[in-house]
Structure 1
C-alpha cells in the first residue's frame, strides 16, 4: 500500500468514527464524567443523558443499568484510547526518523485494526443500551434520531445557501 493509500484508509476510518461517535454516545447515554471545570464535556454529556432519560421515560432501574453498562465499558474504552495514543506517537517518531513505506504500512494496519476494535466497542455499548429499552422507547428513540437528522440536513442546506449568497455577492462587488 502506498503512502496515499494508507492515508485514505486512516482518513476513512477516522471519518466513520467522527460520524458514529456523537450518535452512539447520545444513544448510549454516556456521561463521560471527565469534564474540565464547570460546563465541561462530562457535565454536558450528563445533561444530555438526563434529558434523554426524561424524553424516553426511563425507569430508575433502566438508568441504573445503563450507567452500570457504561462504567463496565469505560476501562476497555480507556485502554483502546491509550493504545491508539501510543501507536500514533510511534508513527510520528517513525516518520521523523524517515521510516520506509513498509514500516508506515505496518502502522497503518495496526491503526486500522485498532479503529475497528473501537468501532466494535461502541457498537457493543449501543447494543447494551438498546437491550435496556422497551419496544416503545426504541421507537421513540428512532423518531428522535430522525428528527435530529432532518434538523441537521436543514441546517446544512441553510448554511450552503448562505455561503452561495455570500459568494454571489462577492462576485457582484
Structure 2
C-alpha cells in the first residue's frame, strides 16, 4: 500500500460474482473505498435506457462515448484521492490500454474472477437481465492474454476470496499486471 489512491479492479464475466465480492471487500477493507460499476450507472437512471428501448436512441452510437467518459471519471475519482473498487468487463480491444494510461498514477490491484460456465449459465438465467449466452461468451474470451495480480475462483466462496484480495492488497507488490497490456487488449 502507498499514500496514493488505490484501485482494486475486479474483472470477470457477467454474473461471475464481481458485485458480491466488491460489497464484501468494501465492508472489510480498512480504508474507505467507493464501489463503482456500470450497473450502478445503469440502475440509477443515468442512461436514457427507456428511450434506447423505444428506439429513439441507439446504444451502439452511445456506447463509445459512454465508456470513454466512464473510464475518465474513474481516473478523476482516484485523482481526487478516492480509493475505488471497480467492477468491469474489458470486452473491447483497447480499453485496458486506455485505462492503464489513465490509472498510471495509482496503486492498482488487477483481480480476475473466474466462474464455471455452468454456474454462469445458472446465474444469468436467474438474473434475467442479460442476453442469454453473454456470460459464457465473456468467460471464454475476456481473460485471454491478460496478466493479473491475483486470480480467484468464484467457487472458493466470497469470504475466502475477500481474504485473498486483502492479503494481496496489503502485501508488497512491485508493479501491477494491469499495466502489462497485451496487443489489442
TM-score (normalizing by structure 1)? 0.29
Higher relative contact order (CA 8 A, sep 6+): 2
Larger % of helix: which? 1
Output the TM-score relative to the length of structure 2. 0.28
Q: Which has the higher strand share?
A: 2
Larger-Rg structure: 1
